[in-house]
């Protein structure tokens, strides 16, 4: 399969936009725009970021603390800046609990290194989250190689919070159900 075709297929998956920040070997703040971010675990608190092996940031992250800055919808310029298209004025860094963080992010996860894995032409970094901050603002999205903002909620939004979630609803995670066809056979 052609690499471009596969990239286009991956682009069908809408994702949030993050900037992974860390300090370089001289202690100067550094960042990289990354859409390959995901939550991994609540206990322990883990998240994953995946960076291209050839990126500068990849050379700074091995065994180092980092922050995941989930960009706000108004931070397209910040995303472009850390994607290799410097913007003026540049982003504003602030001191974070583990690594430099970006001012104005929708949310920030401060991490210490937990594991690192080979991911082919990428490196997979798992960080243990030691601090998390969140603002009440919409996130920046990336879909089909273009930045987007959240639109109006879908018609299915009425089901959000329907209380059917095993972690918050009518049934807890230990509840077991008998399929109706088996229940009829027993009676």
Rg, C-alpha atoms of the chain: 20
pLDDT band, residue 111 (cuts 50/70/90): very high
Helix (H, G, I), strand (E, B) or coil at 180: helix
Q: What is the mean pLDDT of residues 52-68?
A: 93
Mean model confidence pLDDT for the chain: 86
* Percentage of the chain lying above the pLDDT 90 cut: 63
Task: Specify the higher pLDDT residue, 5 or 171.
Answer: 5
Q: What is the mean pLDDT of residues 104-123?
A: 96
Q: Which of 76, 73, 66 is nearest to 31 (CA)?
A: 66
Residue 184: pLDDT above 60?
Answer: no
Query: Please, what are the domains in the chain?
Result: 14-152 (2.30.110.10)
Q: Which residues pair with 122 in a beta bridge?
A: 52, 119
Query: Does the pTM exceed 0.75?
Result: yes
Q: pLDDT tens for residues 70-105?
A: 999 999 999 999 999 999 999 999 999 999 999 999
Q: What is the mean pLDDT of residues 137-158?
A: 79
Residue 157: pLDDT above 70?
Answer: no
Q: How far apart are CA 42 and CA 40, in angstroms?
A: 7
For 174, the token pair is 């230990």
* Residue 137: Cβ within 10 Å count: 16
């Amino acid at each position: 399969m052609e690499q471009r075709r596969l990239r286009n297929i991956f682009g069908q998956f809408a994702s949030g936009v993050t900037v992974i920040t860390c300090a370089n070997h001289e202690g100067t703040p550094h960042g990289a725009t990354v859409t390959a971010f995901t939550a991994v675990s609540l206990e322990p608190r883990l998240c994953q970021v995946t960076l291209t092996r050839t990126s500068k940031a990849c050379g700074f992250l091995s065994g180092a603390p980092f922050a995941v800055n989930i960009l706000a919808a108004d931070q397209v310029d910040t995303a472009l800046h850390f994607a290799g298209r410097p913007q003026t004025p540049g982003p504003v860094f602030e001191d974070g609990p583990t690594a430099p963080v970006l001012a104005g992010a929708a949310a920030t996860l401060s991490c210490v290194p937990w594991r690192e894995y080979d991911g082919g032409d990428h490196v997979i970094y798992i960080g243990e989250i030691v601090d998390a901050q969140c603002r009440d603002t919409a996130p920046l999205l990336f879909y089909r190689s273009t930045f987007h903002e959240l639109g109006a909620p879908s018609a299915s939004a009425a089901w959000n919070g329907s209380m059917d979630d095993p972690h918050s609803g009518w049934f807890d995670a230990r509840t077991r159900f008998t399929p109706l066809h088996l229940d009829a056979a027993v009676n």
